[in-house]
Each structure stands twice: as C-alpha cells, then as structure tokens.
A and B are shown apart, each in its own frame.
Chain A
Amino acid sequence: MSQPDAAAAARDILATAQRLRAELQGDLHEQLVEALYADAARLAARAIKPMGGRARPTLDRAIDRVVTSRLWGFPLMFALFAVMFWITISGANVPSAWLSALLLDKVYPWLREGATALGLPVWLRGLTVDGMYLATAWVVSVMLPPMAIFFPLFTLLEDFGYLPRVAFNLDRLFQKAGAHGKQSMSLMMGFGCNAAGVVAARIIDSPRERLLAILTNNFALCNGRWPLQFLIATLFVGALVPTRLASLAAAGAVTGVAVLGVLLTFAVSWALSRTVLRGEASAFSLELPPYRPPRLLHTLYRSLLDRTIFVLWRAVVFALPAGALIWLSANVHWGGASLAEHLVHWLDPLGGWLGLNGVILLAYVVAIPANELVIPTVLMLTVLAGGTPEVGRGAGVLFELEDLGALKALLLQAGWTPLTALNLMLFSLLHNPCSTTLYTIYKETGSARWTIVAALLPLALGLVTCLLVTLLWRGLS
C-alpha cells in the first residue's frame, strides 16, 4: 500500500471508530472493565482449591493493626529507624578505626617510602599518594563501615515488607498536602538514591502530582549522604552527652534530620500545590503486600553488592580525580598562598555567615557530581588549606589520624564548633541534588525550567535554614 493510501485508510478507520463510539450506549470503557472483572472472578473461583487449612493467617493482620495504627504507627516508625541508626553508629566505630589504622598508618607511609625509593618526582608522589590515594583511603575508612551495617538493615526491613506500611502511614499526610499518596513510594525509593526516586515517580498518573514528587524527592536523604550524617553526628552530637548515651544521641540526631526531610517534603508539596502546581489530589489504592520472612544471607549479599559496594565504588571513582584536584589546588601557589587557600578564604565570610565555613562550601562545589565526595573533600581541604599548622603543613601531607578522636581534634583545630556540625548536617539534607539526579530530573520532566527549580529550591531552603539556625544559636549563646 502506498503512503497516501495508508494515510487515507487510517483516517477512514478513525472516522468510523468515532462515529461508532458516538452511537454506543453508555461508557464502553466501563462496560469492558466490568466484563473483565466478572471473568477474572469466575476463573479465579474455578482455579482456587481450598486445602482445608486456616483461611488466612492472622499474624499479618495483627502486625498491620499495630504498625499502621493511628496511635502507634508514627512512634513505632521513628523508633525503628532510630534503632537502625543506633546499631549503625555504635557498630561502625571499631571497624572504622581498624581500616584507618591499616590504610592511613600502615599502607600510606609504605606507599610514600615506596614512591621515594622508586625515585618518583616529588610532585608526582604528591599527586598520586598524597592526593589520590589519601582521598580514596578516607572514603573507604570513613564510609565503608556505616554503609556495610546500615544498608543490610534497611534492605532487611524492605524485604520484610515494612516500607509499604510506612507509605500507608504517610499517605494521609500526602493527601492533605495536595500530593498523590504514591509519592510516599518514590520518597522511600529516594532514601536509597534520589535519581531512582525521581524515576519511581512514574507510577503517578497525573503530571502535576508527578512533578511534586520529583521536585521534593531530594528531601529524602540518599545513600551518598547517610555516611556524612553518621560521621558528623558521632563526632559532635555524641560528644555533647555522657559516653554511655553518645551513640543514642547521635542516632537521635540522624533520625531528626531524616524526619525533617520528610516534614519538608510535606511542607514543600503543600506550598507548591497551593501556588504554582494547584490542583486536587487524586485517590488511589495502595496494596499492602504480605510480610515475607527475609532470606538473611541473600539479603546481606545483595545489599552489600547492590548498595554498599555500588556507593563505595562511585565514591572511589569520584575521589581519585577529586583527590588529585584538591592536592593540586593546595600546592599550586600564587601570590603567597595556595589556590585552595585563596578559594577557602574567599568563601569563608559567606561560610561564617551561614554558620559553616569556606572549606565546607568549597566541598559542596567539588561534590556536585556525587554527594559521597563531601567527606573526603572536607577532610583533605581542612588538612591542606585550612590553616592547621602542626598537621602536615608544607608538604600537604596528612599524619597520624588513626581514630575518630584525632579526626575531631583536627576539625576543632580548624575552628569547627557544634554549630558548624549542626549546620553541615542540615546543609547535607538541604542543597542541590547531585548532577546525576539533576540529569534524571531533566530527562523525566523534559523541562530545563523545572530542573533549575529542582536545583535551586532545596539550595535556597538550605541557605535560609543555616542562616536562621546561626542567628538563633548566636542569639542564645
């Protein structure tokens, strides 16, 4: 059939269909769906044979009645997450110390000596060993232990079937915020990876509600940001209370930040759905899957490979060039100071205003490709350019940071206060999404305008929040 003939035939078919549709009585779509349901019910009834056991286990219902109850649902949820964070924080310290003893105290001097013995030029040794290796070693020793504990725990909870119950609890609040209840699902996904959470928003039919879910997904703390929360909470929040309660207080702080993220999701959805994205929330049905006993070994294996190693690998891949870049910036001198010092000093006033510092702000610029980079960048920049004369000054080298205590001493020396730590935790929650997520948002929305909104909205919220906290803190003390 030639091209014009085909087009004519298609037009004829469509015209006929439209005419016939107009002649039909009632809503055909509805009638067909009813026919479908009737057939499905009949076939299912014929195919299902009772075995004479109990009709349905009541354990699932009993658990559901508690975990989704109006009274106990939320407190249980917070408690469960707090316990998970507590196990992570109190369990991560020991392996973290081992790893840094190995990678920083043993391997690092050995590599330096090896490089010297090989006769490598000083600049090359600095770039590779002091820059790339050290940044990577930091990433591994600080991030691996908490992730190796947290991700399996989270996956166990997921495989057990608890996440849909969380979604059920949150659903009512999403409806009140003018958003779709399914947004709770993309939110849950965002706790793993925001890029995946943005894609998960596809389950929402209405474009308005889907956009709400995409724009607010960044308020779910992602894989790349959990380690920073754990580290800073352990170092600074844990130290505010007696040692016995340190892990508990740190876990409470991390829970607080995560909950704040969820609250902001509601607040921002509510605000957007009453201004630029006005509209009614649509109803939907949420399926609560049966609880399934997780397969322990399988879950451990999967979460270690899919999440822990995945996130770690991403961090290492980005840390290698970033380490080189940071080392260069700290060793290229110009006008009596290194490039990094210039940048940090230039950003310091703004950082001070926000209750942060220039190093942190610069780290967030470096970390645009991946949030995982913030920790190593902050540490490297603090040592190399942060004006800590005793530690590794001159050669741009980091010595003897065998445990978290030394790490904290280093940060305190660089002028960190509990306010800096608090604001860093808040800023980690509230800043622009990583470039992968932004690219995904662009692909999903097809709009540069909404992508820019998605980047600037959380950043603006973060700056305002840090500023307010700083003003409040300084006013009180």
Chain B
Amino acid sequence: MNHPPVWTTPPPAGGTACDACPAGRSAALQRLGLRVGQADHVVALAGNPNTGKSTVFNALTGLRQHTGNWPGKTVTRAEGAFAYGGRRYKLVDLPGTYSLLSTSMDEQIARDFILFGRPDVTIIVADATRLERNLNLVLQVLEITDRAVVCVNLVDEARRHGWEVDDRQLARDLGVPVVLTSARYGRGLPELLQAVHEVATGQWQARPYRLAAEPPAVREPVRLLVQKLEAAFPGLPNARWVALRLLGGDPSIIEAVRRGDLGRPAAPDGTSQPSPASAHQQPLPAS
C-alpha cells in the first residue's frame, strides 16, 4: 500500500491566514454530490447504528440520503464526493454496525470495505451519549487501520444529559484525531474536514492503538503468524489483525488468505471489491 510520506512540518507557507484556519477551510468545502469522478482520496464512514452517520454523509456531500432516528437504516453502501483543501474525496457511507466480529451481512460489508477497499481515511462516527459502547467499534476499526478520524457526534445531546467528552484526552489515548460534532446543526464539521485532510495527506502521524488487556498467551502465536503473513503478503498494513482473526478461526479471513486477496493492492480510486459480500450494491430508494 502506498502511504504518502509522513509529513509533520507546519502548513505550507504562502497561503493566506484563511487557508490555515479550519473555519476558513470550510468555506472551501465543495459538495460534489454523486460526481465521484477521479478522487484523490477515499474516505470510509463507519460507526454504530443511529449515530448520525448519514447526517454527516449528507452534510459533506450535499446528497440527501434518507436519515431516520432508528438503528439499521443504512444496509447498503452509499457513495458521494466532496472537494476540500484542493483535493477531491470520495466518501463511502458504510452500514452502521456494533462490531466487525460477527457474520451478518451488514457487518461484513463494513469490515470488507475497511479491510480490502483500503480507504485513505476511515471516519468512525461515535455517539457521545453512548461513548463506551461506541468505543468497542472504534477500537476494532483501529486494529485494522490507524488512518482514522474519530467523530464524536451528538455532543449537544450529551450536554443535555449532563456530560462532556474530553476530545484531547481521547485523542491522546487512541492516537488518532478526535473531533466533537453535532452534525444535525453543522457544528464541528469544519474541524472534521480539517482532520480528514490531515490524515489523508499524511500530516497527522498516527500512533497505532494496541489493546492493553490482550491475553498474554496469544503474543507468541501472533508474532509467528505476523512473520509468515508479512513474508507472503509484503506491505500488508494490518498483519497483526489478520493474525488474530486467523487464530480466532474467522472463516471469511481464512477464505481471503486462501484466495490471496490480502496481498492485492487496492485500486487507486479504492474501488477494488474482491469480496462477494461487498460486490457493487446500488443503494435502494430511501423511502
């Protein structure tokens, strides 16, 4: 996989003050709707059901995916596009899931896209009022990819319930950018765009999160498998995660190893969909 070089210098000189500040950049957001065309980056949108993923999707692309206050509304992938900071992004709205470990079709679609579609950035939308349960999914996604942005949505609701989320603490703990949003009212979206931009262009250097409470007995087997995986599939970005799934006997990962899909480089526009579960699904009419 071609990571852009990690780049940690300050923003380029020569731009106006507006280019540097997040609020000014949001004015540069261009909602491209369905005009995906040649995208520079592919961004996946993951998250638990009913956390406002579709609202974020609509706000960024200008599309009007139906939103509704109940879990399980989006079961297909929807795609849209936006341009920001001089780059074109393709945004893929994945079905809302509580985990990536089970076998239902919506979880497979989400997992296969993050794993095989190799998005440049994965936005994980989390519900601020149910942070603990939402973090389960965040941690699972971070095991697959560290090119992620955590979007803690519904912070207005959390405030009404009497609590706040400490985004800095969470970002320090997770090692990826954390943005607080209230997507229904458009709050926090400029910051979200800026964070996505930074991760996509490699300005943010992620520190991969590792489970603290991992059972010690798996350490040696994982090391051995990672060694073999990296030899067989050079450049595999998440050998550790694949090793853990193999040890757990995950049938779809076993199948992917057998087919050799793991080593396949993603297409430049991220459209490669080797797994049948994620074969091109046209989103159905929302009504």
Contact = CB atoms under 8 A, between A and B. Distances in A.
Nearest to A188: B70
Contact of B228 (A16, A41, A311): A16
B103 interface: yes
Interface in B121-143: 129, 131-133, 135-136, 138-140
A371 to B, nearest CB: 13
A196 B132 CA distance: 31
B10 to A, nearest CB: 28
Nearest to B262: A10
A161 B167 CA distance: 28
Q: In this complex, which of A32, A37, A223 has the most chain B Cβ atoms within 10 angstroms of its Cβ?
A: A32
A46 B173 contact: yes
Q: In this complex, which of B73, B164, B184 has the most chain A Cβ atoms within 10 angstroms of its Cβ?
A: B73
> What is the size category of the interface that chain A forms with chain B?
35 or more
Contacts of B73: 189, 200
A14 interface: yes
Interface in A183-232: 185, 188-189, 192-193, 195-196, 199-200, 202-205, 223
A460 interface: no
B183 to A, nearest CB: 12
Interface string A22-44: 01110011011111111111111
B221 A23 contact: yes
B104 A306 contact: no
B287 A51 contact: no
A25 B217 contact: yes
A49 interface: yes
A451 B102 CA distance: 27
Given A6-B263, A13-B232, A47 B131 contact: yes
Contacts of A10: 232, 257-258, 260
B247 A17 contact: yes
A307 B284 CA distance: 13
Contact of A32 (B64, B106, B174, B244): B244
B279 to A, nearest CB: 10
A223 B232 CA distance: 53
Given A29-B101, A199-B76, A7 B225 contact: no
A17 B248 CA distance: 9
A188 to B, nearest CB: 7
B271 to A, nearest CB: 20
Interface string B143-184: 000000000000001011111111101100110000000001
B166 A47 contact: yes
B176 to A, nearest CB: 12
B13 interface: no
Interface stretch (A88-96, A111-119, A242-250, A286-294): A286-294
A175 to B, nearest CB: 18
Interface stretch (B16-24, B32-40, B86-94, B206-214): B206-214
A158 interface: yes
A310 B135 contact: no
A21 B162 contact: no
B105 A158 contact: no
B75 interface: yes
Contacts of A205: 102-104
Contacts of A28: 215, 218, 244, 247-248
Contacts of B163: 48-51, 53
Contacts of B104: 202-205
A38 B213 CA distance: 7
Given A28-B247, A193-B287, A290-B129, A39 B211 contact: yes
B284 A440 contact: yes
Interface residues of B, number: 73
Contact of B162 (A56, A159, A189, A295): A56
Contacts of B184: 295
A54 B139 CA distance: 29
Nearest to B50: A289
Contacts of A158: 68-70
Interface string A4-21: 001101111110110011
A289 to B, nearest CB: 5
B68 A310 contact: no
B107 to A, nearest CB: 9
Contacts of A36: 136, 139-140, 211
A407 interface: no
Contacts of A29: 101, 248-249
Nearest to B140: A36
Contact of A6 (B49, B166, B249, B260): B260
B232 A193 contact: no
Interface string B82-117: 000000000000010000011111100000000000
A163 interface: yes
Contacts of A14: 246, 254, 257-258
Nearest to A223: B287
B285 to A, nearest CB: 6
Contacts of A289: 50, 69-71
A10 B258 CA distance: 6
Contacts of A13: 225, 228-229, 232, 246, 257
Interface string B216-251: 011001001100110110000000000110111100
B68 A159 contact: yes
Nearest to A196: B284
A63 to B, nearest CB: 13
Given A7-B260, A35-B213, A192 B287 contact: yes
Contacts of B257: 10, 13-14
Q: In this complex, which of A160, A188, A203 has the most chain B Cβ atoms within 10 angstroms of its Cβ?
A: A203
Contact of A307 (B157, B159, B211, B287): B287
A17 B225 contact: yes
A17 B260 contact: no
A26 B286 CA distance: 45
A12 B224 CA distance: 12
Interface string A305-334: 111001100000000000000000000000
B215 A32 contact: yes
A20 B225 contact: yes
Contacts of A164: 69-71
Nearest to B171: A47
Q: In this complex, which of A205, A289, A305 has the most chain B Cβ atoms within 10 angstroms of its Cβ?
A: A289
Ranked nearest first, the 8 interchain pairs of A and B with the lowest CB-CB distance are A53-B162, A44-B132, A9-B232, A40-B135, A17-B246, A35-B213, A20-B221, A307-B287
Interface of A: 1, 6-7, 9-14, 16-17, 20-21, 23-25, 28-29, 31-57, 151, 155, 158-161, 163-164, 167, 182, 185, 188-189, 192-193, 195-196, 199-200, 202-205, 223, 287, 289-290, 292, 295, 302, 305-307, 310-311, 440
14 contacts: A9-B231, A12-B228, A13-B229, A20-B225, A32-B214, A44-B131, A48-B131, A158-B70, A164-B71, A195-B284, A202-B75, A203-B72, A203-B75, A306-B66
